[in-house]
Structure formats: structure tokens, C-alpha cells
Structure 1
Amino acid sequence: MRLKKILEQDPEIIVTDAARNGEDALRKIAALQPHVVTMDVEMPGVDGLEALKRIMEDYPVPVVMLSALTAQGTVETLRALELGAVDFIQKPGFMDARALEKFEKELPEKIKTAATSTVHGKRPLPKPAGSIPVLGKKSSPLKMVAIGCSTGGPAALQQIIPVLPKNFPVAVIVVQHIPKGFTRPMAERLDKISHITVVEAERGTVIKAGQVYIAPAGSVFTVKKTGEEIRAELDALTTRSAFKPSVDDMISSVADVYGEQALGVILTGMGNDGLKGLSALKRKGGRVVAEAESSCVVFGMPKAAIEAGIVDQVVDLSIMGETIVKNVLR
């Protein structure tokens, strides 16, 4: 089995067993109690999503999903992240040597990162759209909320964006580390379950209050003021970051454009992307909120900001949406 061979090449990983299908996987997980599980969405019998649901209910363990390079595979992968998977990796095409090489390099690293993560399982969605009244007060000293996240981010965003009221008086920009092809379906999913409109940003998109903009994967995302308008820019600068988009690039540009009228929010994720941008925002008089370790899948990005002394509030994900609203209306 190729997957098993790839993982066994890493001396820090021990492969305890391989399963033939979903039912076999559930039996072996119960018996072997592995630190991490890798699972394909497409499996005979009990499929990956059903197996994942039962894993989270009966044997909570970090799960890294294998995703197909198709539209349906994208939707199913996002569903897996909702159900509690901590991360995913796209399966390479059979004839794509470069993609295979990338897969062989990234998979072991994702497995080792997953082993250090905290499993929270499937969280219930916040109150459905329409159940929270619109804001009585429509003005705010702020004009922008800038959110950055990585591992665990898609599920975290589903706990935050639906809480924002319909007439939210500021714009929201989100950078989520995720491969190309996933940001538009993620935006569409969030839009369906939220009061506020959620879209994938495009080059030249005018940033308006009462909208959530998801930065498109694969591009350097920044904002720029032109005349009276503030627009999204893609690949307008050369980034030093390993990520496209990066939280640092986005929030640094937000700091330049909005200054003290912006709120920076840093959520679950590995590494320290966002630290430079949030530091710049703090110097301009902006406020910073970080997710607490108690609810993070990976307490990396928030931890870096907290340890740097630039965070004004540290809150659990369960009250992050409410905290953002309170900051906007303070």
C-alpha cells in the first residue's frame, strides 16, 4: 500500500495498521487506539464521512482526510472539517510527478502536526440565520475586522461568522490557509448558514461594510485605498511569506489603510503567520483578539501573538463571535 510506504519512510512515524474499508477502520481504531488516523473520503461500505462521524462520537482522535481533486471532493472535504477532521491533503493525480513529490513531503508533516493537535469533534453550529435580531446600533468606531486562521480554521469560522448580525456595520476579511479551489466553496457554505453576506474576494472587489470577504487561495491578498474606495488587490506585491494568501500580508495592509479603525483576530493554526501584521496593526492603534488555547486545534498562531504581548483579549472560540460584535460596538 503506497500510503503506508510513504509514512514508514519517516522515522518519527509508526504505522500500526491499514484498513480495507470504513467498517474495518472503526474496528482497528477501537482496538489499536492510534495517535492519528488518515482516511480517504471515498471508501467502500461505510464512507469516510460516516466513519469520521462515528470516530468523533466514539473514539475522538486527530484525523487527516485524503481529498480528491474534484468539485465533489472539495465539498466533502469541507464537510469532513465540519465533522471534526483536523486537516486534509489532496491526493495527487496518477501521472503528476510534481504533485506526487509534494504529497510525499507534506503528508508526514501533516501527520506529525495532527499528533500535537487537540480534537474538539463536531461543534454544534451557532443559532441559524434569522434567529438573531439585527443590530439596533449601526455605527461603529471601527471599519474593519481582519481574521487569520490555519489548521482548524474552517470549523472555527463556522462558529464565528453566523453570529455576526445581518446589518453588521463593518467589513470582515478572512485569510484561511487552504489549497486552491477551496475558498469559493467555503465562502458559499458560510454564506448559506450566516446572517451576513459571505463571498470570495476577487481582484478589484470594493470592500464594503456588512460583507465578509474570503481571500482567494493561491494569491497574495492585500487591500488598498484608491480615492474614496478601498479595494482588494491580488498579487500586487511580492510576499516573503510561505503562504498565499498570508495573514501577515493581509493584516499589514489593513493596518496601513484602516489603522486604529481595525480589529485583528487570530485563530487556531500552526506557526506564527499573523504576528508581523498584528504587530503593525497594534502600532497603528488597532486592537487584537486571540483564540484561547482551550479551543484551538493547534495553539500556534494565537500563542505567538500572545507571547509577543500584542493581544488585548484572549477568548474561547465559543464566545469569539460575540466578542467581535462587542468590540465593534464598544
Structure 2
Amino acid sequence: MIRALVVDDSAVLRRLITTVLSSDPGIEVVGTATNGREAIARVDELRPDIVTLDIEMPELDGLGAVEIIHRNHPRLPVIMFSTLTEKGAAATLQALSRGASDYVTKPSGAGSVHESMARVREELVPRIKALTGTRRMVPQAPPPVRRRLAGELARPQVLVIACSTGGPDALCTVLSNLPATFPLPVLVTQHMPPVFSTQLAHRLDRLSPLAVREAADGDAVLPGTVLLAPGDYHLRLARDGVAVRARLDQGEKENFCRPAADPLFRSAAQVYGRSALAVVLTGMGQDGLLGSRAVSEAGGYVITQDQESSVVWGMPGAVAGAGIADEILPLDTVASRLISVATRQARVPLRT
């Protein structure tokens, strides 16, 4: 049974979240709190498996509370509740950088309480189960990586990255450690709604030596530039004469996501073939599996984050488990390895 603590200063939302979670046979709401200070005390008292935490609260807000909770209980997953606004998105990204594991947006515009509950159930319950499942999981020996001769590998011409739960922080770690001279264009799909993706691009641009921006349809794909898929749009690559351009569309969701990683990875395989370099970072679900297979079958190179450093080893674990990964790496080594592979300064494959 997963033991949850619900923290929100709104009695209506506390009751709604508590009702939704209590209706799941695998979740027990062991307590509630109305502000950050009370939340900190309740965590110490109740020792829950997971916390849902509002951002805007009296006395001590969610930003202050999550920092203290994470410092005192670093392995305790915390899911933030945020508004779908520019201010809410910026605050949520701050919370993620301070130790929050994931976030959901508050139900707004729903026509009824029933619809609000359904939306919260759809977004919150899978995250709770994924995050607590990761916490309880005993790390397994990594699956075998592909073995290929260095002569089989072409010099990469593009880097595509996919991530979801835990992704914003993982992206910060990777992109902030790539130099301004990194020779490849970089394209990123992070599962994130509109407004949030804009704020993430701004934050990554401040932290990375590379220029980071939200992709626009028709953008040239150039070295030294990171293009991030906008919320609610798939990002793909397309050849335009000698140039390659970013293409955005609102095609059907894949893996219940838009943007999704698979369309980006498939297009990279089609355009760049064996010169595509793909990275799958932390995230729920299996998005990126089919796209990574396309990259691999085209002769490209696939790297995944390892289980121990992932917030959720769903996406990278699916790729690794399928035997598609050329390397399975801790997060803090991914950037240096990308530099080596992109410039062919190291022998590949790294593992034997």
C-alpha cells in the first residue's frame, strides 16, 4: 500500500485529491496539511511514501517546503500541483530544481467535479505508482549493451534527446556540461504542456553554453543550437535541399504524449541514418523505444541513462531492456560521453 500525504491550502482541492487517491485500492491517504510548515512536520511524523504539494500556500510556500523536505528526506518523491500559467510554470521548474520529482497541473476549465476528479486521477495516480515503484525497486544488473566495432560507426551529425519524469533536471545536467563548441545540433523532446516548455527553454538557455530555444516550424537545424519541442506539438526533422529543418505538427498523440519522442527519433533516423546520435533520459512509460529502434536499425548510436541515476527508469529502461542501447550511463557522465562520441575522441563502444 502506498502511503500519501496531501498538502494544499484549498479545502476543496485537498478533498478532491484525497477522494481520488483513496478510491485507488493501492493508495492510502495517511494525512493532509494546509501549508508548507505543517507539511514538513507531517512528513517527519507520518513518514509517507509520497507527497503531493501545492506551490502557493500561506506561511511557507511549496518552493520553500520542497527544499526542506528534500534535504531531510532526499529519497522521498514529491509531486507539485501547479497552475497552467507562466508564473506557475516558472515556479514549478524552480521546485523541480529544488528536489521535486514531478508535477501535475491543477484541474482548470473542467465542466464538473466529476471531470476534475477524472483529470487528476489520470495525471496523478500513474505518477505516484511510477515514482514509488522506482523508490522500492531493487537495482538490477544492467542489460547487455550492443557490441559493434568502431569502424561500423559514422561521425554523428545530430543529437536527439528524449525525457519525461525527472527530465528538466536531467536536461540541465547534460546541457550545462556541453561546451559552446559542441559540434552537433541538438533537438529535445520533453513531455511538457505549453507554457511549461517555453519556461523550460528559457531556463536551459540561461544554464547552458549552447543557445536553447523552443522550436518553431521551419527552424534550421544548426550546430550550437538546442531546439526544444513546444508543448502540444510533435517535433520532427525534414530535409530541405542541403539543409535540415524542424517541422512541428499536431498529429495524433503517440504513447499518450504530444510532443512524443518516437516521431523525433524516427525522423532523425530517416534524415541522418547512421549519423544520428540518440539519448533517452529518465521518464515514465516507453516513449522513445520505437524511435530508438529506428535509429539503431539505421546504424545510429543510442545511449540511455542508467537505473540508479534515473528518477523513473521507464523510458531508458525500455530501450535498454530491448537490447537497443549501445551504452547505459549514469547521468553525470552522459555529457562527457556525448562530447567524446560526437568528436570521435574515444573508442566505441565504451563497454565490453
- 1:253 counterpart SS class: helix
Equivalent residue, structure 1, for 2:134: 117
Equivalent residue, structure 2, for 1:180: 194
1:180 offset after TM fit, Å? 2.0
- 2:160 counterpart SS class: strand
Which structure 2 segments of 5+ residues have no match?
A: 1-14, 137-153, 345-352
1:145 aligns with 2:159: yes
Distance 1:227 1:193, change over 3 A: same
1:215 aligns with 2:229: yes
1:203 offset after TM fit, Å? 1.1
Could you give the per-residue CA deviations for residues 80-105 of structure 1, whole angstroms, max 9, x where no partner exists? 11112111010122664455532233
Q: Distance in 2 between matches of 1:278 and 1:35?
A: 33
Normalised TM-score (structure 1): 0.90
Q: Distance in 1 between matches of 2:253 and 2:88?
A: 30
Equivalenced residue count is: 310
Quick check: 1:288–1:312 contact (8 Å CA) kept in 2? Answer: yes
Q: Distance in 2 between matches of 1:39 and 1:236?
A: 32
Could you give the per-residue CA deviations for residues 109-143 of structure 1, whole angstroms, max 9, x where no partner exists? 22222212349xxxxxxxxxxxxxxxxxxxx9221
In structure 2, what residue type is equivalent to 1:195?
P
* 1:305-324 equivalence runs, <5 A: 305-324=319-338
Could you give the per-residue CA deviations for residues 216-262 of structure 1, whole angstroms, max 9, x where no partner exists? 11012211001111111112755544211111110000000011111
Identical counterparts, % of pairs: 37
- 1:320 counterpart SS class: helix
- 1:216 counterpart SS class: coil
In structure 2, what residue type is equivalent to 1:53?
E
1:33 offset after TM fit, Å? 0.3
* 1:127-138 equivalence runs, <5 A: none
Q: Which piece of structure 1 moves more, 191-200 or 238-247?
A: 238-247
- State which of 14, 32, 49 in structure 2 corresponds to 1:35: 49
Quick check: 1:153–1:176 contact (8 Å CA) kept in 2? Answer: yes
What is the RMSD of the two structures over their aligned residues, measured on CA atoms?
A: 1.7
Equivalent residue, structure 2, for 1:260: 274
Q: Which runs of 4+ in 1 moved over 4 A?
A: 236-240
Equivalent residue, structure 1, for 2:263: 249
Equivalent residue, structure 2, for 1:84: 99
In structure 2, what residue type is equivalent to 1:280?
A
Which structure 1 segments of 5+ residues have no match?
A: 120-139
Q: Distance in 2 between matches of 1:229 and 1:161?
A: 24
- 2:247 counterpart SS class: strand
Equivalent residue, structure 1, for 2:292: 278
